Each structure stands twice: as C-alpha cells, then as structure tokens.
Structure 1
C-alpha cells in the first residue's frame, strides 16, 4: 500500500476491536494497533502510559489530535504517536466516539478507512463477563453511550459495517484488508 492509509475501528466495548486488530495483524504484519497515550491507571497493555505533564506538553505544542475521559482515565491520540505509527505501517485506531473519529480525520491527514464494528448490548454483557472484566457495569454504560452517539450522528458515513456476532474476526479482517487494498488502488490510479 502506498501513501498514508489507516483504519479506524469504532464500536462499543466488547465489539471486537482488539480481536479484529489481532486478526488484521495475522493477515498482514503492516497492520498495527495504534497505542493511545493513557493518563491514569489500570490496564496498560495496548497503551503508552503517560503523565499529566506529558499531556500538558502535547497540548501546548498543539499535538493532541483527540482526548477523551473514560473509566477514570484520559486517552489521547497524539500527533507524534500517529507519526510513529504510520512510519511502522498501517495504524489501526480504536475509538468509541464519533467526535474522536471526526477529530482524527480532520486533525491528521491520511486516508482513513472508517469501520463500524457492532454487537448487541446482550452480546457485550456476555463477552465482558466471559472475559472476566471487573467493570462490566461501566462497559454497559459505555455501550449505551455508543448507541446514543451513533443515533446522534446518524448521517455518519462508514466505509464498512461489520456485525461481529455473525462475522468472524478473520472474515472481518479480510474484508477490512480488501477495503484498504481497493482504496490504495484507487489513489494510485
């Protein structure tokens, strides 16, 4: 793939963003999950842990593309992190807010493929409990917020919609990879 191509996976908690990203990486090593900067505590896997001072420095430099607070932490998409991710390959950015997608698309020029991953509220609860999440109640509240977010942004255009209760992670990855290959071909034609 030539040029700057990235993937945004949007969906509620437990919709399969991590699982589909792993399947993408297995399909093609160019795909790599973008590790957001996380200011706070808790799960550190998949994040670059940072400090309030680092966040302040990024804000002063105008390098915060998007930041949001959830689960008592602040999650940051930063310009230096995106630069490094694009140098390494094709970043896969996980988001649960349409405002974050809009900020990313407007704030960091690249060919972003926007993918909606979805599963029902009941499936989210089943998956969260099944993997032993200690904060299933908070994840269900986040599912509700994601549904409201989608309803508020009904005009949002998605390049691909995948129901992860019916599409396997491997099938989802293949479809995303095909989408990016088509988009890359279109930009070189």
Structure 2
C-alpha cells in the first residue's frame, strides 16, 4: 500500500497559498486545504475555531503536532484534524514557519511534499491591499519574519519552489500534482 500523501505549502503572506490550494482542488477534488485549529479572533474561513480550553486538552493528550502564535491568535495542527483530513483525501497544509514544517514532517507519518511559494515583499503589500486586509503592516512584518526564517534555515530542502509572480495558480497546481504522481510512482517501483 502506498503511504498517504500530503502537501505543505510554505511562504510569506499573500504568496498564493489559498489561491494555489483552490487551483489544486479544482484540478482534483482529492486536494483540500487542511483547516488548522485557530484560537482567537478575526478571519474564521479556512479554520476550525476552538477555545483555549480545547487546545489545552489536545496538548495534554499529546495531540498537538505544531502550534504557533501570530496576529494575536494561536494556530494548531492537531493529530485528530490531520487524521480526518487524510481520511477525506490529500490535505494541503499552509505553514509560515520552517519549524512547523519540520514538526509536521517529523511528527506525523506521511509522504509530505514540501513546496515553497514565493513572492517579493512589495507583491505581498500589493496583494494584501487588493484583498482588503486590515492588517497589511502585520502581514509585511510576517513577510520579513518569513525571509529571516528562510535565511536561518538554509539547509531546508524544498521538493518544489514556485515564484507566484511568474507562475499562474493553475500551473503551480499542475506542478504539485505531477510531483505527487512522481513520488507515488517512485514509492511503488
């Protein structure tokens, strides 16, 4: 039996993680964004909203694979959530920290394809303004943190790197889909 496959999309804010995930799900319905558990306020679309008490229960049971704080909220990747995502198909996990990638790859057994989506800082600023973000300054600070994260982890190996200013979301989705097909074929060879 082939190991279950998942996709991790890493990149700064507005690098195209949501857009590429939408293109992947349009290409094949097996792809679906993993809804991280979010404790806090603000945007709820794409998240499973939870309480601090629920997160504490998951942590106490050893079910939190990775958690981070950003924008005044806590975001968690939890084992029951990942289990459910794999039961439904191929999860696409959005991360903005290399430590999160490593925690997920090391902490949840699967064939993870790790993709770097990139755009320059000024593109993040423009895209953030165009989509009506009220916290563009915080997103630019997160872009800076992502750049620092990359610079601090030069040993990070990417299965695929996509410049989202040069590749259409559908093209990126096709590249990711091809990557998973190649990895599945190699695993069964």
* Alignment deviations for residues 141-171 of structure 1 (CA, whole Å, 9 cap, x no partner): 0000000000000110000000000000000
Equivalent position of 2:173 in the other structure: 173
The TM-score with structure 1 as length reference comes to: 0.99
Equivalent-residue separation in structure 2 for 1:6 and 1:43 (angstroms): 24
Residues 1:92 and 2:92 are matched in the alignment? yes
Equivalent position of 1:147 in the other structure: 147
Equivalent position of 1:161 in the other structure: 161
Equivalent-residue separation in structure 1 for 2:96 and 2:146 (angstroms): 6
Equivalent-residue separation in structure 1 for 2:76 and 2:34 (angstroms): 11
Equivalent position of 1:60 in the other structure: 60
Equivalent position of 2:116 in the other structure: 116
* Alignment deviations for residues 27-60 of structure 1 (CA, whole Å, 9 cap, x no partner): 0000000000000011000000000111011001
Residues 1:77 and 2:77 are matched in the alignment? yes
Cα RMSD after superposing both structures: 0.9
Gap runs ≥5 in structure 2: none
* Alignment deviations for residues 42-93 of structure 1 (CA, whole Å, 9 cap, x no partner): 1000000000111011001000000000000000000000000000000000
Equivalent position of 2:132 in the other structure: 132
Which segments of structure 1 move beyond 3 Å, counting only runs of 4 or more? none
Equivalent-residue separation in structure 2 for 1:5 and 1:150 (angstroms): 24
The TM-score with structure 2 as length reference comes to: 0.99
Equivalent-residue separation in structure 2 for 1:60 and 1:138 (angstroms): 31
* Alignment deviations for residues 12-31 of structure 1 (CA, whole Å, 9 cap, x no partner): 00000000000000000000
SS of 1:122's equivalent in the other structure is helix
Equivalent-residue separation in structure 1 for 2:2 and 2:27 (angstroms): 18
Equivalent-residue separation in structure 1 for 2:132 and 2:54 (angstroms): 32
Deviation at 1:3, TM superposition (A): 2.7
* Alignment deviations for residues 97-127 of structure 1 (CA, whole Å, 9 cap, x no partner): 0000000000001000000000000000000
Equivalent-residue separation in structure 2 for 1:181 and 1:135 (angstroms): 38
Deviation at 1:2, TM superposition (A): 4.0
Deviation at 1:188, TM superposition (A): 1.2
